[in-house]
Amino acid sequence: MTAANDAPAISVEGLTKRFGDRTVVDDLALTVPRGAIYGFLGPNGSGKTTTIRMVCGLLKPDAGRGTALGFDVLTESDRIKERTGYMTQKFSLYEDLSLRENLEFIARLYRLEDVNAGVDGALDKLGLSERAAQLAGSLSGGWKQRLALAACMIHAPDLLLLDEPTAGVDPKARRDFWDEIRRYAREGVTTLISTHYMDEAVQCDSIAYIAYGKKLVDAPTGDIPGFLGLHAWRVRSNDLDAAEEVLRGAPGVELVARFGTELHVAGRDEAALAASVARLRGAGGSAEPMEAGLEEAFIHLMTLSADNYK
């Protein structure tokens, strides 16, 4: 190993990828420290998958350079692949092979010295042992995710690249999945995980938010709300629909979101926001200022950058 162990797990800069005229990833820099769980957020088509693929050598960047696990992403992707587990957004193992056969195949490709022990261990760790002989195609979504995680963990990688691993999975399975991720993090595995779910984002140590291929925010998770300079109010009313109607588009109001029986209203212009909320208070509702949280921050970011699909 030529890499120093205190070097970041991922360190890339100027990463750019174009498909035809469309610049999918634009001059992106990213530094992920070893052992971190790094969240990768952004709307659909914002370039998350493309970035992950460039890091593990599945796509060649048009510009930019960097390292993963100390190896050059442009020239040493074979070495990076040896030490990295990549979980694709869409299930991409063999549906006509059983769970065991899938894992055996992957274990052999990574040249595990004891394939059987490795496969048994992976099956056991993720509670898949009872289903080992079942064909992968017959599994439900949550079990497929587990199998995919088992497959990308089987060679004990140092870096996990997880591309929306919990999309379409029920809440219980998602919680179990995250328990696994945190366990690996404690063992020193670095994780870069892309997600759409707010409750998952808050579990990350740091978050990079990208839209239109550009990185907008990159900070420790706790710093993000303050970083955006958001002010927020909590609004209660007997008629939430009417209140929402009044607030949406009012001066200073950049975000209106429903949380159960209340509305959260946020914006960066403190005075204008306060004035708009005050008008509502006269109309029979109540409002009080609150600390802007991560959720407001992300909804705000998402609103700023609607889906990149045209």
Partner 1 sequence: MTTAPPSSFAWSRVVAVFLKELVQMRRDRLTFAVMVMMPVMQLLLFGYAINNDPRHLPTAVEVRDDGPMTRSLLASLKASSYFEIVAVARSGAEGDRLLRNGEVVFLIVIPERFEERLVRGERPQILIAADASDPVAAAGPVAALQSIAQTAFAPEFTGALSPLAATLPSYEIIAHRRYNPAGVTAFNIVPGLLGVILTMTMVMITSIALTREIERGTMETLLSTPVRPVEIMLGKTTPYILVGAVQTVLVLIAGHLLFRLPFTGSALTLLAAITLFIAANLMLGYLISTVARTQMQAMQMTFFVFLPSMLLSGFMFPFRAMPAWAQGVGEALPLTHFLRIARAVVLKGAGFDATARELGALGVILAVLTIAALARFRRTL
Interface positions with partner 1 (CB under 8 A): 53, 56-60, 78-79, 81-82, 84, 86, 88, 90-97, 101, 104-106, 108-113, 118, 121, 151, 154-156
Long-range pairs for 32-35: beta carbons < 8 A, 24 or more residues apart: 32/8, 32/190, 32/192, 32/206, 33/8, 33/9, 33/190, 34/5, 34/6, 34/7, 34/8, 34/9, 34/158, 34/188, 34/190, 35/9, 35/185, 35/188, 35/189, 35/190
> CB of residue 105 vs partner 1: minimum separation in angstroms?
5
> CB of residue 33 vs partner 1: minimum separation in angstroms?
23
Instruction: Report residue 239 as tokens.
Output: 């008629």
DSSP 258: E
- Which residues are within 8 A (CB) of 189 and not within 5 positions of it... i.e. 6 or more apart? 35, 157, 158, 159, 160
> CB of residue 44 vs partner 1: minimum separation in angstroms?
18
Q: Dihedral sign, CA of 217, 223, 225, 228?
A: negative
With respect to partner 1, which residue has the nearer C-beta, 5 or 303? 5
With respect to partner 1, which residue has the nearer C-beta, 5 or 92? 92
> CB of residue 273 vs partner 1: minimum separation in angstroms?
45
With respect to partner 1, which residue has the nearer C-beta, 122 or 246? 122
SS3 78: helix
> CB of residue 253 vs partner 1: minimum separation in angstroms?
43
With respect to partner 1, which residue has the nearer C-beta, 42 or 57? 57
> CB of residue 51 vs partner 1: minimum separation in angstroms?
13
With respect to partner 1, which residue has the nearer C-beta, 86 or 209? 86
Longest dimension (CA), the chain: 73
| Separation between Cα atoms, residue 156 and residue 149, nearest integer Å | 11
> CB of residue 65 vs partner 1: minimum separation in angstroms?
17
With respect to partner 1, which residue has the nearer C-beta, 26 or 82? 82
With respect to partner 1, which residue has the nearer C-beta, 160 or 256? 160
Distances (CA, A) of 226 to 17, 73, 293, 294, 301: 31, 34, 8, 9, 13
